[in-house]
């Protein structure tokens, strides 16, 4: 099991007022699964994704990553685990405007202190795979939305993470470009990478193997999709 959440709660306190974001979440996620998280705005989707991604910690409960309890891990240890195991894909792409396509994709490998020869090999391979090699010297603002998201996916996977967390990855794309991104995430899952995606789109969720529905911070239903790749 890659991820386990046991009785996880998340409560935010502000000026003495407590807001419950997550309540008694129990969830198991296997290696290589493709899971969608759905629910209305404010139901706790982003809070759940942040906890799974080790960007935030539960108020109570347990979080296991690769069978190690990490809910109470230090910020340094959580940063290490994130850097070496998790890639992030966001709705807004989050590319660095001052860096070229090549430089944006290379950046995580520099944080991982991968030698330059290996960095070059990995970046070249992932650019070819995601069909952005011909844009290597372009800057993000010179790309279409679909191309920017391809670069964002390339940056997320170039470090060969075990887990990809995608927050509304098709939210800023038209249907054709959105389909391309979803097919890329399916390919990653089929190659053994675990993918967890937050989405409002039922069409996007159909690409996943399992859909988790949240309401008012609680897990209300889990469904297997009929098909994982329309």
Residue pair 20/218 in contact by the 8 Å Cβ criterion: no
Question: What was the pLDDT predicted at 226?
Answer: 52
Q: What is the pLDDT of residues 49-68, one digit of tens each?
A: 999 999 999 999 999 999 99
Domain boundaries, the chain: 31-54+84-224
Neighbours of 64 (CB within 10 A): 16
Residue 158 above 50 pLDDT?
yes
- Categorize the per-residue pLDDT at 228 as very low, low, confident or very high, splitting at 50, 70 and 90: very low
CATH 3.40.50.800 fits domain 31-54+84-224: no
- Please write the tens of the pLDDT for every residue from 90-129: 888 889 999 999 999 999 999 899 999 999 999 999 999 8
| 136 within 8 A of 120, measured Cβ to Cβ | no
Sign, CA torsion 214/218/220/226: positive
């Amino acid at each position: 099991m890659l991820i386990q959440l046991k009785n996880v709660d998340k409560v935010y306190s502000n000026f003495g007022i407590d807001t419950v974001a997550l309540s008694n979440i129990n969830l198991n996620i296997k290696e290589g699964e493709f899971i969608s998280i759905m629910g209305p705005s404010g139901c706790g989707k982003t809070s759940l994704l942040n906890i799974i991604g080790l960007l935030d910690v539960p108020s109570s409960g347990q979080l296991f990553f690769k069978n190690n309890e990490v809910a109470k891990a230090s910020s340094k240890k959580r940063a290490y685990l994130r850097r070496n195991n998790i890639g992030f894909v966001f709705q807004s792409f989050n590319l660095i405007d001052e860096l070229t396509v090549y430089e944006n994709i290379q950046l995580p490998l520099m944080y991982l202190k991968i030698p330059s020869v290996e960095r070059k090999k990995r970046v070249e391979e992932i650019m070819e795979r995601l069909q952005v090699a011909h844009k290597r010297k372009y800057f993000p603002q010179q790309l279409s939305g679909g191309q920017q998201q391809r670069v964002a996916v390339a940056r997320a996977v170039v470090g060969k993470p075990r887990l990809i967390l995608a927050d509304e990855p098709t939210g800023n794309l038209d249907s054709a470009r959105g389909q391309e991104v979803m097919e890329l995430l399916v390919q990653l899952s089929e190659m053994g990478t675990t993918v967890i995606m937050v989405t409002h789109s039922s069409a996007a969720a159909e690409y996943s193997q399992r859909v988790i529905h949240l309401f008012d911070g609680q897990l209300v239903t889990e469904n297997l999709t009929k098909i994982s790749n329309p």
